[in-house]
Amino acid sequence: MIRFGPAGNSESFYAQGYKSTWQEPQWLRGMGLSAYEYSFGRGVNLSVEAAEKIAAEARTYDVAVSAHAPYFINLANLDPDKREASFRNITESARLVCCLGGDRVVVHVGAVMKLDRKEALAHCRDGLREAYRRLEDQGLGRVHLCPETMGRPSQIGDLTETLDFCLLDERLIPCIDFAHLHALGHGALKGAADFAAVLDQLERTLGLSRARQLHIHFSTIEFTAAGEKRHRTFAETEYGPRFEHLAPLLKARGYEARVICECKGTMAEDAREMKRMYDAAP
* Beta strand 220-224 pairing with 227-232: antiparallel
Pairwise CA distance, residues 240 & 234, whole Å: 8
Banded pLDDT at 28 (limits 50, 70, 90): very high
Are 97 and 52 within 8 A, CB to CB?
A: no
pLDDT in tens, 130-146: 999 999 999 999 999 99
| C-alpha to C-alpha distance for 243 and 188, rounded to whole angstroms | 14
Classify domain 3-280 by CATH number. Answer: 3.20.20.150
What value does the mean pLDDT of the chain take?
97
pLDDT tens per residue across span 34-57: 999 999 999 999 999 999 999 999
pLDDT tens per residue, range 169-228: 999 999 999 999 999 999 999 999 999 999 999 999 999 999 999 999 999 999 999 999
Question: CA-CA distance, 149 to 109, in Å (whole number)?
Answer: 9
Please state the pTM of the whole predicted model: 0.97
Say if residues 94 and 134 touch (Cβ distance below 8 Å).
no
Q: Which one, of 91, 65, 165, lies nearest residue 123 by Cα?
A: 165
